[in-house]
Amino acid sequence: MSENKNATLLENGLRLDGRDLHELRPISMKTGVLDRADGSCYLKWGNNKILCAVYGPRELHPKHLAQPDRAIVRVEYRLATFSVNERKSPAPRRREYELSKIITESLNHILFLEKFPNGTIDVFITVLDADGGTRCAALTAASLGLADAGIPMKGLVTGCAVGKVEDKIVVDLSDVEDKDGQGDMPVAMVYNTGEITLLQCDGKFTAEEITEGLKLAKEAIGKIYQMQRRALLAKYSQIAESYDEDEEEE
Amino acid sequence: MSENKNATLLENGLRLDGRDLHELRPISMKTGVLDRADGSCYLKWGNNKILCAVYGPRELHPKHLAQPDRAIVRVEYRLATFSVNERKSPAPRRREYELSKIITESLNHILFLEKFPNGTIDVFITVLDADGGTRCAALTAASLGLADAGIPMKGLVTGCAVGKVEDKIVVDLSDVEDKDGQGDMPVAMVYNTGEITLLQCDGKFTAEEITEGLKLAKEAIGKIYQMQRRALLAKYSQIAESYDEDEEEE
Amino acid sequence: MSENKNATLLENGLRLDGRDLHELRPISMKTGVLDRADGSCYLKWGNNKILCAVYGPRELHPKHLAQPDRAIVRVEYRLATFSVNERKSPAPRRREYELSKIITESLNHILFLEKFPNGTIDVFITVLDADGGTRCAALTAASLGLADAGIPMKGLVTGCAVGKVEDKIVVDLSDVEDKDGQGDMPVAMVYNTGEITLLQCDGKFTAEEITEGLKLAKEAIGKIYQMQRRALLAKYSQIAESYDEDEEEE
Amino acid sequence: MRSEEIVGSLERRYLTDLLQKGKRIDNRGFFEGRSIQIIPNVIHKAEGSAMVKWGNTVVVAGVKTSVGPPFPDTPNQGVITVNLELSPISSPTFESGPPGPDAIEMARVVDRGIRESHVIPMMHPQMCIIPGKLVWILFVDIYILDDGGNLIDASALAAMAALANTRINKVKINEETEEPILLEEMDPLPREGSVVSLTYVKIDDFILYDPSLAEDRAKIARFSVGIADDGMICSMQKGESGVFSEEEIITILEKATSRAKELNKIIDESSFLNEGEMFQFDF
Amino acid sequence: MRSEEIVGSLERRYLTDLLQKGKRIDNRGFFEGRSIQIIPNVIHKAEGSAMVKWGNTVVVAGVKTSVGPPFPDTPNQGVITVNLELSPISSPTFESGPPGPDAIEMARVVDRGIRESHVIPMMHPQMCIIPGKLVWILFVDIYILDDGGNLIDASALAAMAALANTRINKVKINEETEEPILLEEMDPLPREGSVVSLTYVKIDDFILYDPSLAEDRAKIARFSVGIADDGMICSMQKGESGVFSEEEIITILEKATSRAKELNKIIDESSFLNEGEMFQFDF
Amino acid sequence: MRSEEIVGSLERRYLTDLLQKGKRIDNRGFFEGRSIQIIPNVIHKAEGSAMVKWGNTVVVAGVKTSVGPPFPDTPNQGVITVNLELSPISSPTFESGPPGPDAIEMARVVDRGIRESHVIPMMHPQMCIIPGKLVWILFVDIYILDDGGNLIDASALAAMAALANTRINKVKINEETEEPILLEEMDPLPREGSVVSLTYVKIDDFILYDPSLAEDRAKIARFSVGIADDGMICSMQKGESGVFSEEEIITILEKATSRAKELNKIIDESSFLNEGEMFQFDF
């Protein structure tokens, strides 16, 4: 968060992009977008564009990494070199390693890994265009990619960042609010159970603001979870449709 | 190729080093120059100086790379740090990886790899002094190194670049012609069969110029192929001579 | 060594830190300082601060490095990034690789490696604060760390650098004497047998000066060896004490 | 590996049997290309970008611009760098990590086409801000997103289309300090024409244009040629362990020259489209 | 690996059984911390340093200062970089080599606490030598020396204590050349308050503060919070595959806020100690 | 590995049996060196170079020169860097990749001999172009081409011989811009004398000069000493796990001092040879 307090981020109670304090940016998501992957998801969230591919459960190489009692999950969160203001070097940065780790841990929670001893589930996420909140968007997409691959899951995990702007807690921080605001707080949950699988913050918050942020995050996550469900239903209804077509052809 | 059209590369129909358009630079080559390698070749071509060592067929480590039905060929083409105008970093550059790959593919064609399951044939090429046309020279040397190692081959592969200078197709491009000319076109063939194992170009050519280039390259390759044969014969005649000496001693 | 001959390193026959030519800096050493390591030693020598941890003999991974007839010794000598004047990059430098190698070779000599086939003994040394003579200090500490781990040894190895300052041979070169003096000569021995396990020099010495240096080094090494023995005895007397305490409690 | 190889050999035989009957696996003619869609300006954060769907292959290219010192031997020229990543997103057989020889070769082939055709004129006065000191540096980064075969041609097209909509900042010189200031306002990147890549593969003795994934796997040799909109051949690259005869190369160059005319048109059409949206793709 | 895992599962069961009886393995209360010792200025060659013994855990942090260019978007601000090494000295399970994801995460959590609390005010005029050209660059390097659990809190404390005794050179500007000269004389690094990290772990359904090594191994979830001396929460980091409820997080934040007051006092006390000597540690 | 080790142990026994009879495997005396050939100026693209055939060992060293900033603590001195590559060309046991500890040690031993003898006077006015800003930087790169034993001495000789024929550009200062211009015309690199390396190995209790490949493999200890043409000892390096007594070291230094005189002569002879041609070697 910036030490610079001069940036104006709210005007007449609205945010620079015209949103209300608690309003999400436009979000759309689609599964099954890739031919070669076992599962995939393409997600747009504001100007974020994120592509996720899932492979597995499959055999793990090198074998000495395999766990005899469960599958492991390997997640790679990467920023495309051109997805950010200054071209990023192709080699992953420390931030990308950290986010890969916490996304892995979040996904671990919803998977029945013990069903696939010695196996691996590989999740590759590329942020093609970055606009603030990529980790929550990436996790939301990965969750759908896993479902699209038909991997058994306890539930979907869904993410949304809240933040602090001019002493107000706002939902779904934009790129500029992340940069010039007072605090960022990414949250991910299994919406139905309220289990928090990812939680971070940076900035300056009181305990009350964190509590408010968690409440607002949960509401937003509820909305995004419904979009995830619709995206999965869309896939199955497409499958059903093509099944009908098959019948007609007969 | 340079965008700069001002460089003069031809004077009175001759090239800057006095050669005719279709004339090769002085070339010499010698096999069996290294003690420790199974096969080796030292080749001078203009001011190019290239050393090649061949090991194998030998067991492949790590074993998981081994192919149960054939040997693999591993080629490393490297420029010595001092072989070029500006000192090169010791780490291989992208150009060296590309040339290693296309030289490997060229050599693959002439080897009976299925005779050596699970094995490897390793070809290490170091350009000690670079003067234009190193990839063709390196491939020509590697071919001799393999023969020197006694590895069974379908034929020798032989390389020579042609190029375009002041709208003329010339044979065996020099360093300065490569840099300031209009186009470079490296070619390698199995001379006896006319099979093209390597072909690249950069610059601006018409289809007719490419056709002319291929014809001129084949003629040049024929001459170089004769030198390769003589180099191999020299080795065997030396062996024969020392055999004679042995007899005399008896 | 510097080409600069102007630095004054001796005044009234004493060195800049007030020492006599043949005087050691204050040295203290303590074993068993780390909980998690099998053996450990913390050593202060002037302003040098060195921490050494020993693990093993333990199984060696990856297995293809294992020797069927003996254990191998792996030593890592590292400078902490903040231990030197200009912050060092965390990646090891060539100097650190060289010193790790010669320390390994020195320790190899005193270990009964054939007692532990397929095993490894791992010695990690971190120089937390560097003040000249770190390699000899590190070797001295490593030797104690091995003894602390209870690994059977033929003897202790002990190191001390001598050097040349204003044409005099001096003992235990300080950081500034190493930098501005005429020569540095690190020596390590098994004191009881006089076997030289490590010997290097840089600077300009006559053969006679080397001979004198070896003699002075041996004397200094004798003193340091007594400190090593006391540090080990301190450990065993502590153990004896706590054994006594146990008895008292009963 | 093993089971993949067996599949590979069965697949190769199946393809060869078809080819002997004059057929390709997707019913195309031997020299017929697949359908191509281009969405320009797909990445907001990039100064130029394009996504290409070429048959089942999906590729995105982005161009980032920055200013920096020129190479000492070309003090007035801009600098261009092409990278390509065989992202593990695009195929179960690709692994993450620094580019291997395959990705390096592809990047260099695409790079040579752009460089040798001079479609981005590096000596153009706009490319140089302060001679010998400060020039425009272009990073063209290509990500393979779905591997459906013929990655070189799809990548070259994405790179060319991305360059075609790339913008660079206008520059003002601060009169006092003589230092350049990049303005918010932008100009199109100088461009003179276009270049495309055309890839042919050999399976058994058959030569095919625009290999699908199965054909890419079964090929014994590959030949790619870069041709500019003026019909000049700017780059060639033979790949794999199989061989071509002189006659085969000459035939390919003829076929390629005529196909290149169509392809070069696509680029100029795409550069005049409005900013596209990825979901127009049904990928 | 196998035998370690079996031990791990036995250890976890043993700890859980204890916790169900309201006990921890070292008899601490669930929200009770271990003893803490700090030796400031322990490294002569560093411009700031501290060694921390936190229970059985030993950590050293050193600060090196240098001058260099600022980041383009913060031309008047100093730069701080935090690195952390899980040295193989500190545990039989750590390997040497570049930092892995665990070390990277820890370094970044410590970094965020320092950065977001603004305890080192990067915009302070003293941090900038020539605006846009030359600022102070601080490298905070943390080495774990003995892993006795709760590495994040011990590392954050060592880093904070090292910064609290860091000095930077006074600077004079050469009037002729306008170039800065670093003088021998030094000033304390500007500092405004302090920040500490507080880590809680979950084992079964129990939440514990300041995990010992065995508890660190048995945890299913981790939650670390950075709190400044003004009581503000500057960083949070949830780790591992287990989960927390909203209520659990709110409870932890309450406990942490009160514990943070004590911890932030320790730092200011340590910064006024005389230069310590490592052997005061009985480690 | 296994079969190599068995050979190694048989070879060692065979060598030891010979040595006990006072014989070496190639019939040399214990302190007799092998034949040496030097071809100076063998690389056109290098500013200095030499190829050395030392017994069966072949080594090439090349010197590239460039200009760049000095180290901050030696603002008027040139910079020299020595690298050495155990090229896989030279032995079936060497692998490609960044230098391992063996190659690093060899490079540093060669470097120390050159640096400490001051044969290339880094403080010479010719080495400094603009004090504090621009000095000559020398890269000495050594490639082992055929490993016939005693790589250190052969490498040191190749490096020394390459430096002896190295040239650096004359420099003119542009009066307007005050920037230096490198002229085409060249001067010899400043040089004051020469330095050589002498390596002795211990097999069983025997000490031998200039180990052949088999002796290198069988050695239990190694001792290398660098001696300048003025007879001063500039570097020593003991290697391997075996040990020496004080008396052995003193004996070796006596032998080495006398042999060094001969070797230092070779370098000055080679530096006056005409540019050689590699094929003069019958290697």
How many CB atoms lie under 10 A from the CB of residue B232? 18
Subunits close to F (at least 3 CB pairs below 8 A): B, C
Smallest CA–CA distance, residue F168 to chain B, in Å, is 14
Could you read off the pLDDT of D63-120 as tens digits, one per residue? Answer: 999 999 999 889 999 999 999 999 999 999 999 999 999 999 999 999 999 999 999 9
Could you read off the pLDDT of B203-234 as tens digits, one per residue? Answer: 999 999 999 999 999 999 999 999 999 999 98
Mean pLDDT of chain C, nearest integer: 93
How far is the CA of D237 from the CAs of B187, C181, D32, F53, in angstroms?
Answer: 10, 60, 20, 40
**In contact, F179 and F130? CB cutoff 8 Å:** no
Interface list for E 240-259 with A (CB within 8 A):
240-246, 249-250, 253-254, 257
Residues of A contacting chain E (CB within 8 angstroms)? 1, 3-4, 68, 94-95, 97-98, 100-102, 105-106, 108-109, 183, 185, 190, 194-207, 210-211, 214-215, 218
| Range in A54-68, C151-165, F218-232 with the lowest mean pLDDT | A54-68
Chains B and E touch (3+ CB pairs under 8 A): no
CB contact under 8 A, B202 and D235: yes
CB contact under 8 A, C49 and E278: yes
**In contact, B123 and B141? CB cutoff 8 Å:** no
Chains B and D touch (3+ CB pairs under 8 A): yes
Q: What is the mean pLDDT of residues E25-30?
A: 96
Of E43, E90, E147, the CB nearest to C128: E43
Q: What is the mean pLDDT of residues B100-108?
A: 98
pLDDT band at D283 (very low <50, low <70, confident <90, very high): very low
State ipTM: 0.94
Predicted confidence at residue F155, as pLDDT, reads 98
CB contact under 8 A, F233 and C98: no
Chains F and C touch (3+ CB pairs under 8 A): yes
Please, what's the b/e burial string for D185-205 (b: 16 or more CB within 10 A of its CB; e: otherwise)? eeeebbbebbbbbbbbbbbbe
Contact of D87 with chain A, judged by CB distance below 8 Å, is answered with yes
Predicted confidence at residue E2, as pLDDT, reads 47
Q: What is the mean pLDDT of residues A112-121?
A: 96
Residue E6 has pLDDT above 80, yes or no: no
Predicted confidence at residue A242, as pLDDT, reads 63
Predicted confidence at residue D276, as pLDDT, reads 42
Residue E270 has pLDDT above 70, yes or no: no
Domains of chain E: residue spans and CATH: 24-271 (3.30.230.70)
The 8-class DSSP code of residue D224 comes to E
Of all residues in chain E, what percent carry a pLDDT higher than 90?
Answer: 86
How far is the CA of D141 from the CAs of A89, D87, D156, in angstroms?
Answer: 10, 12, 11
Q: What pTM value is reported for the model?
A: 0.95
CB contact under 8 A, F45 and B130: yes
- E-assigned strands of chain F? 36-40, 48-54, 57-68, 79-85, 128-130, 134-146, 167-173, 180-188, 195-203, 206-209, 221-228, 233-239
Residue F278 has pLDDT above 50, yes or no: no
How far is the CA of D240 from the CAs of B103, B220, C185, D109, D233, in angstroms?
Answer: 10, 24, 57, 14, 21
Residue D139 has pLDDT above 80, yes or no: yes
Provide the token pair at C41: 């030693």
Residue E126 has pLDDT above 60, yes or no: yes
Q: What is the mean pLDDT of residues A226-248?
A: 76
**In contact, D263 and D194? CB cutoff 8 Å:** no
How far is the CA of D217 from the CAs of A36, B72, D205, F271, in angstroms?
Answer: 14, 18, 15, 57
Residue tagged 């610079």 (tokens): A4
Residue F279 has pLDDT above 70, yes or no: no
Domains of chain A: residue spans and CATH: 10-249 (3.30.230.70)
Smallest CA–CA distance, residue F80 to chain B, in Å, is 14
Residue B41 has pLDDT above 50, yes or no: yes
- The reply to whether omega before A62 is within 30° of 0 (cis) is yes
Mean pLDDT of chain E, nearest integer: 92
The 8-class DSSP code of residue C83 comes to S
Smallest CA–CA distance, residue D120 to chain B, in Å, is 11
Of all residues in chain B, what percent carry a pLDDT higher than 90?
Answer: 86
pLDDT band at E182 (very low <50, low <70, confident <90, very high): very high
**In contact, B199 and D236? CB cutoff 8 Å:** yes
Predicted confidence at residue F180, as pLDDT, reads 87
Residue E283 has pLDDT above 70, yes or no: no
Predicted confidence at residue C1, as pLDDT, reads 60
Helix (H, G, I), strand (E, B) or coil at E8: helix
pLDDT band at D6 (very low <50, low <70, confident <90, very high): low
CB contact under 8 A, B218 and D236: no
Residues of B contacting chain F (CB within 8 angstroms)? 28, 30, 33-38, 40, 42, 44, 47, 49, 51-53, 55, 58, 76, 78, 80-87, 90-91, 122, 124, 126, 128-131
Smallest CA–CA distance, residue E152 to chain A, in Å, is 15
| Chain A residues inside the 8 Å CB shell of E108 | 94-95, 98
Q: Which of A169, A174, A168 is nearest to A137 (CA)?
A: A174
**In contact, A141 and A33? CB cutoff 8 Å:** no
Mean pLDDT of chain F, nearest integer: 92
CB contact under 8 A, A202 and E235: yes
- The Cα–Cα gap between F141 and F158 comes to 10
CB contact under 8 A, B98 and D108: yes
For C66, the closest chain F residue by CA position comes to F1
CB contact under 8 A, A49 and D141: no
| Range in E263-277, F64-78, F160-174 with the lowest mean pLDDT | E263-277
Please, what's the b/e burial string for F109-137 (b: 16 or more CB within 10 A of its CB; e: otherwise)? bbbbbbbbbbbbbbebeebbbbeeebbbb
- The helix-helix angle for D101-117 and D151-164 (nearest 10°) equals 50
CB contact under 8 A, E234 and A203: yes
**In contact, C98 and F105? CB cutoff 8 Å:** yes
Q: State the count of interchain CB pairs (< 8 A) between B and D.
A: 100
| Chain A residues inside the 8 Å CB shell of D42 | 49, 128-129
Contact of D105 with chain B, judged by CB distance below 8 Å, is answered with yes
Interface list for D 140-179 with A (CB within 8 A):
141, 143, 145-148
Predicted confidence at residue A65, as pLDDT, reads 86
- The reply to whether omega before C62 is within 30° of 0 (cis) is yes
Smallest CA–CA distance, residue E283 to chain A, in Å, is 32
Predicted confidence at residue D4, as pLDDT, reads 57
Q: List alpha helices for F47-172, DSSP H.
A: 101-117, 151-164
Smallest CA–CA distance, residue C118 to chain F, in Å, is 13
Q: Which of C95, C107, C116, C112 is nearest to C158 (CA)?
A: C107
| Chain C residues inside the 8 Å CB shell of F249 | 196, 199, 210, 214
- Name residue C74's beta-bridge partners: C122
Could you read off the pLDDT of D192-238 as tens digits, one per residue? Answer: 999 999 999 999 999 999 999 999 999 999 999 999 999 999 999 99
CB contact under 8 A, B80 and F89: no
